[in-house]
Structure 1
Amino acid sequence: MKVLHLPYGGQMVTLCSALREIGVEAASCHYYKSNFNFKPDLCLHLQQVPPTKHVMIRTEFFNRAVQEFDVFHFHFGQTFLPDHSDLEYLKKMGKKVVVQHRGSDVRRLSIARQYGNPYVQVKYPDEKAIVSELRKLSAFIDHAIVADHELLPYVREFYKQIHIIRQAIDLRRFEPSYPSAAAKAPLIVHAPSHSFIKGTQFVREAVRKLEKRGYAAKLQILHRVSHEEAVQIYKRSDMIIDQLRIGSFGIFSLEGMALGKPVVCYIRDGLLDTYPKELPIINANPDNLYDQLKRLVGHPERLPELGLQGRAYVEMHHDSLKIAKQLAELYRQL
């Protein structure tokens, strides 16, 4: 069984590496060079050629890949060709196909607000376009993967079978560096991929309020840095703030926990019970972020223990080798 993951994302790279370790031949392919310097097994480097040639290059790659691979694992709702016309051929050829939705590719404001999240915003407001894409995909793909129950309502009506498989992290790449219990001016790191969607303005406001009220804390917000550089900065931090609007946590939270850092993130009402009970994330929304940070900054002795809990959580539930075994089992079922 040979598996191909595409078309972009650090998770693809992590998953393929783990799949190979458990004996599954797997390769990751990016269409464009990663802005975060992720290193896939293959890259088409479409950024180097005129847009008029992109479909031709993708079609040529598709024709080669069909001859070589047995399973195709698509991410972010993208396939070989922009119009998804490749999917009908893959089905006729008897290839195994699964799509993994990551978040912004399926979130719709009309659905998000049904779950009592007053802070939620979405990256793509055109709901008709999102639904159209989901219909095209699900016409030929029976199996979809999401990371948690927050994403489930956006895709539930489209696919025959939906699998919840959590995000993966290669723990060996994240040596814990626990914060000091005596930190006098804790360093808070926030690394938004999209400042408005992630609630960066609320992070700035909360830290400014801390400073005005005499609490010593430093804030570092990361933009457009390589993943390697970002991880080095995370290691020096005392706590991590992830996203404050969406209502669930992402890869940034996992990396923070793997490094032994307390993580602050907003988990919406009704979702907490769907995660393992050991989840140690400090649940904060835009309205109470200041209060939560005040407790942490004012009591640095809590930070190491929270860091230890976070590391234990990702070891238990997000180890890439464990996730790879779940994927391998799914591939056998397709």
Structure 2
Amino acid sequence: MKILHLPTSVGGNAWGMSQAEKELGLISEVLIVEQNWLKYNCDYNLNLQGISFLQRVKVLYKWFKRANNYDVLHFNYGSSLLDFQKLGLVLLELPFYSKKQKIIFTYNGSDARDVHPIEYWDEIENPKKSLYQKIVKIVKKYKIKKVEKYADHIFALNPDLLYYLPSRATFLPYSISNWNEIKKYSYEIKDKIKIIHSPTSRELKGSDYILKALEKLEKKYDNIEVQIIENIPHKDALTLYQEADLVVDQVLIGWYGGFAVEVMKMGKPVAVNIREKDLKFIPDDMAEDLKKSIINITPFNIEEVLSNYIENNTLLYEKSKKAVEYVEKWHNPRYVAKIVKDIYEK
């Protein structure tokens, strides 16, 4: 069976899944239309940034024809090859793929989620949506409706996305791009507890609330050190993550990202906002294991919760152990690839 993952590298999920599919005996490749600053691996990079629209269409159409050589087309980030959202021309080629091919879609986050998906929005700022944001929401809904028509299966990497996707969509745990390269490090806190925050989007991660809380903690305790990591290549960031004693992911979205999976595999305790009501979408055992493995925070209790762990750092050692056990069980790429392979073969 020959699989092509396309057309983005968001979160490194496609590459991680592709590598695990190969381990299961499948032929699996990753195509991206352009690279981002994180520089995740891929098999084919079309490098379409900076070229004219006509040139772009020519290259994409060539790959559309070539895609017919694959048994499964696994699209990610709610997009396809001929997908020009700003022009209102979306998912153009979906009706024209062979009926013998399996069409799979994986949604990663903001490709399905509302513009402001935040549980606490009414309690913080609750900004009015601009006209542009309202249009984006309409386009997302239209695209999801079109995917529902042509996709054989739909996955969601965040449980809350299932509020926005068709009822037949199912939850799928993250696959990270470099599972075998990330090693567990012996967890040992030295003179200071090093706290790391590494946002890809400060707004969505709630970085303002996190940074204000961390600033207060730095004034309150002399045994902590805070480092913000952003806008650097993924491989460089991974090296810096190794130095963390505690990682703060996000406080608004209600789920964790691929970044959290990476650092948990290293044995780093993670503080993150997990929305209890969304856990109904994931396996019961996974939900129970998650509650034991992470430090659950909200925008309003970051300082209080983290103070408890700073003052009782034996709790951090316990979370370190649980974090590794959790990701080894629920985010092992072979486990995720087997779920996907079963869908491919149905």
What's the TM-score once normalised by structure 1's chain length? Answer: 0.90
Identity of aligned residues (%): 26
Instruction: Please tell me whether residue 319 in structure 1 is matched to residue 332 in structure 2.
Output: yes
Question: 1:32 — aligned with what?
Answer: 34
SS at match of 1:264: strand
Choose the corresponding residue for 1:209, options 204, 216, 221.
216
Instruction: Please tell me whether residue 105 in structure 1 is matched to residue 106 in structure 2.
Output: no
**How far apart are the structure 2 equivalents of 1:32 and 1:143?**
25
What is the identity, as a one-letter code, of the residue corresponding to 1:36? L
Choose the corresponding residue for 1:282, options 281, 295, 298.
295
Question: 1:86 — aligned with what?
Answer: 93
Instruction: Please tell me whether residue 131 in structure 1 is matched to residue 141 in structure 2.
Output: yes
SS at match of 2:164: helix
Superposition deviation, residue 224 in structure 1:
1.1
Question: 2:180 — aligned with what?
Answer: 172
Choose the corresponding residue for 1:140, options 150, 161, 173.
150
**How far apart are the structure 1 equivalents of 2:343 and 2:296?**
32
Change (3 A) 1:73 1:285: same
What is the identity, as a one-letter code, of the residue corresponding to 1:18? A
Superposition deviation, residue 215 in structure 1:
4.2
What is the identity, as a one-letter code, of the residue corresponding to 2:308? R
Choose the corresponding residue for 2:64, options 45, 62, 65.
62
Q: Deviations over 1:209-259 (max 9, x none)?
A: 112223432211112111111111111111111111011111111111101
Superposition deviation, residue 205 in structure 1:
0.5
Superposition deviation, residue 148 in structure 1:
4.3
**How far apart are the structure 1 equivalents of 2:24 and 2:247?**
32
Aligned CA-pair RMSD: 2.3
Kept after mapping to 2: 8 A contact 1:254/1:314: yes
Q: Deviations over 1:110-164 (max 9, x none)?
A: 8765x9985699996532121111122222224200124322111035xxx3122
Question: 1:229 — aligned with what?
Answer: 236
Q: Deviations over 1:160-207 (max 9, x none)?
A: x312221124542211124324x3321111111110110111111111
Kept after mapping to 2: 8 A contact 1:75/1:100: yes
Aligned length: 326
Superposition deviation, residue 276 in structure 1:
3.0
Instruction: Please tell me whether residue 297 in structure 1 is matched to residue 310 in structure 2.
Output: yes
Q: Deviations over 1:76-133 (max 9, x none)?
A: 111110121211011x5431101101110111158765x9985699996532121111
Kept after mapping to 1: 8 A contact 2:194/2:244: yes
Superposition deviation, residue 272 in structure 1:
4.4
Change (3 A) 1:207 1:116: closer
Question: 1:77 — aligned with what?
Answer: 78
SS at match of 2:180: helix
Instruction: Please tell me whether residue 198 in structure 1 is matched to residue 211 in structure 2.
Output: no
Instruction: Please tell me whether residue 271 in structure 1 is matched to residue 272 in structure 2.
Output: no
**How far apart are the structure 2 equivalents of 1:118 and 1:331?**
43
Change (3 A) 1:39 1:109: closer
Contiguous gaps of at least 5 residues in structure 2:
84-89
State which drifts further: 229-238 or 273-282: 273-282
Kept after mapping to 2: 8 A contact 1:111/1:153: no
What is the identity, as a one-letter code, of the residue corresponding to 2:92? S
**How far apart are the structure 2 equivalents of 1:201 and 1:254?**
23
What is the identity, as a one-letter code, of the residue corresponding to 2:18? C
Change (3 A) 1:23 1:144: same
Change (3 A) 1:111 1:48: closer
Instruction: Please tell me whether residue 153 in structure 1 is matched to residue 163 in structure 2.
Output: yes
Kept after mapping to 2: 8 A contact 1:179/1:303: no
Kept after mapping to 2: 8 A contact 1:117/1:247: no
SS at match of 2:3: strand
SS at match of 2:277: coil
Change (3 A) 1:116 1:195: closer
Contiguous gaps of at least 5 residues in structure 1:
none
Q: Deviations over 1:252-300 (max 9, x none)?
A: 1111110100000001232346443111110001100111111122222
SS at match of 1:278: helix
SS at match of 1:253: helix
What is the identity, as a one-letter code, of the residue corresponding to 1:77? G
Superposition deviation, residue 305 in structure 1:
2.0
Choose the corresponding residue for 1:21, options 20, 23, 31.
23
What is the identity, as a one-letter code, of the residue corresponding to 2:182? F
